Structures are given as structure tokens and as C-alpha cells.
Amino acid sequence: MRNSNILKIAFSLICIFMLGACINTNNKDDHTEQTSSIDENITKVNENSKTLVVYFSQTGTTERIAVHIADTLDADIFEILPKIPYTSEDINYNNPSSRTTKEQNDSSMRPEILNVIENLDDYDSIILGYPIWHGQAPKIIYTFLETYDFSDKAIIPFCTSHSSGVGSSVSNLKSVVSSSAKWVEAKRFGQDTSNLSIEKWIESLSIYEY
């Protein structure tokens, strides 16, 4: 009789284990189905977001600010990745033969981008972040802007630098984008900019008016 009870308990535990495995499998399948239609290059934070934070960062300064902006706004985020990554020597501004020096001195240079945005039409506002290289936006930002149609979208630029200001970087970027794009005044952030300063700038944008 005792053995019979033990067998019954063992059988019950096996059934519970098998049922749990089936439930976990179904949940995994459901999750795969839900995320399969999402642009894999965009980090989705809010399915209803109409704002996309786009940034290019080489040293991590622009990335930190872009991520904090996206977190604060509950916005989606996209990192521009160069097809040929930059090395530390590539961004040696004191070397006239370095890659970035050559690119920034060549108005026709358009470095290739590795990843693409498949659903840009889903967004009304684009917050665009970039470092200042030789007084201007990196040429890969021109590649990005010339790849997509920004007609009637709001473009909100910010740049990062150790000392240089926004300068003419935005006015030069405007020249490669549809004239119907609505540009907001650019903001420059330093390496040590606090999160509070970033949040105050975001608050000043009234972003959901665009």
C-alpha cells in the first residue's frame, strides 16, 4: 500500500513538471511572435512612441546623453553604426593623415552605415545626436540624413564636444534634408554634463508639440 502511494505521488509530480514545460514553451512562442515584426535595429522602449533618438558615438559621450534622453522620454533609440568601425588612431585629430581628418576635409565623403531603419515613417520627431569633429558633424551623419526622407518631421539636434560649440554644423546638415523638415535649435553638451541639465533641456523642448 505504501509503495502504491509513493508511485501515485511520483506520477503526479511528473505530470506537474510536464504541464509547466508546456506552459513555458507556449509563452516563448508567444513572445517570439510579438517581437518578430519589430525593427531589430531599434531598441523599443514604448510601442506608442512617436519620437526616435538617433545617435552616433565613438567615445561614449554622445551615447550616454542619447540613452538618458531616450529613457527620460520613454522613446525608442537607434545607434548609427559605421560599416567600417573607427579606431582610436582614426579619430586622431592631430594627425593630418587620420581617417577622420580626411573625411571631414572631403565634402563628398559619405561613410557607409551598417544598419538601417525600416520604419522611420512611424516617427514624427527625430532627436539626432553627434560629436563635433573638426568643427562639424561627422560625415556619417550626412550619410544618415541622405538615406531617409525627413519631410515634415521635426529634427532636434544635439552635439557633444570638449570645447567646440554647435557652430555651422546644423546649418550644413540642413542643406541635405528636405526643406519641409522642422529643425529645432541645437544644444551642445560637454563630457561632464549632468543628467539634470539634460532633463531641463528635454523639458524646454515641449517635444510632444511637434
| Residue 43: predicted pLDDT | 66
Q: What angle do CA 153, 197, 86 make, to 5 degrees?
A: 65
Torsion of CA 109, 104, 121, 178, to 10 degrees: -80
Q: What angle do CA 136, 139, 142 make, to 5 degrees?
A: 100
CA 191 and chain centroid, separation: 19
CA dist 11 and 163 (Å) reads: 72
- Tell me if 80 sits within 8 A of 140, measured CB to CB: yes
Cα Rg of the chain, angstroms: 24
pLDDT digits (tens, 9 = 90+) for 99-114: 999 999 999 999 999 9
CA dist 124 and 141 (Å) reads: 19
| Residue 92: predicted pLDDT | 93
- Decide: residue 48, CB within 10 A, 0-12 exposed, 13-18 middle, 19+ buried: exposed
**CB atoms < 10 A from the CB of 199, how many?**
14
| Residue 46: predicted pLDDT | 56
Q: What angle do CA 85, 86, 92 make, to 5 degrees?
A: 175
pLDDT digits (tens, 9 = 90+) for 62-73: 999 999 999 999
pTM of the predicted protein model: 0.77
- pLDDT beneath 50: ranges in the chain: 1-37, 209-210
- Tell me if 139 sits within 8 A of 111, measured CB to CB: yes
**Phi then psi for 74, rounded to 5 degrees?**
60, 45
Tell me which amino acid residue 76 is. Answer: D
| Residue 169: predicted pLDDT | 93
Question: Scanning the structure block, which residue is given the C-alpha cell 520604419?
Answer: 119
| Residue 3: predicted pLDDT | 45
Query: DSSP E strands: which ranges in 56-181?
Result: 76-79, 125-131, 154-160
| Residue 2: predicted pLDDT | 44
Tell me which amino acid residue 201 is. Answer: W
